[in-house]
Amino acid sequence: MTDTLIRRLEEATEGSRELDARIGAEIRYFSDKAEDWMRGWQGPIAPYHEKPGHIACWHTDGRMSVWWSVPCYTTSIDAALTLVPEGWDDVQLFIKKNGCKARLKRRRGALLVAPMESERPDRLVATPAVALVIAALRARGIDMEG
């Protein structure tokens, strides 16, 4: 799923609640209001397709237990920033006529550029929020190699 998620983000022409739900499921997002049993849930969490922008706990028999909304990661820079892991204290967004990219840096000099490794314009993505989401997911260790 990770491989497909990063690829879909790179190919997206705009943010979407469907992508937000996939991101929320990948990082196992729980709201601050989630009950304790939910935070300890070890079972699958996946997009709840009947409600765009929502994810749900799923039992092994395929039954959905409970569902909740995820932030608008792909359309809000503020929401995308919540995905940046601790220690990546330098966040840079580059907005060009033909697309966007994001760069994250750690204090100790590690550098992560996403989604592109060079200045090739074909590696830019559609929006600043999507570029930031990709960089943050890669900083979390979620990458195309999965």
Nearest to 139, CA basis, from 107, 92, 109, 106 = 106
Give the tens place of pLDDT for each residue, 18-38: 999 999 999 999 988 888 878
Give the tens place of pLDDT for each residue, 67-76: 899 999 999 9
Cβ pair 74, 80 in contact under 8 A: yes
Cβ pair 14, 127 in contact under 8 A: yes
The pLDDT value given to residue 8: 92
CA dist 135 and 54 (Å) reads 22
Going through the chain in order, the beta strands assigned E by DSSP cover 45-47, 54-58, 64-69, 90-96, 99-105, 111-114
For the entire predicted model, the pTM comes to: 0.84
Domain-wise residue ranges, the chain: 2-69, 77-139
Q: What percent of the chain has pLDDT over 90?
A: 41
CA dist 119 and 22 (Å) reads 28
The pLDDT value given to residue 106: 77
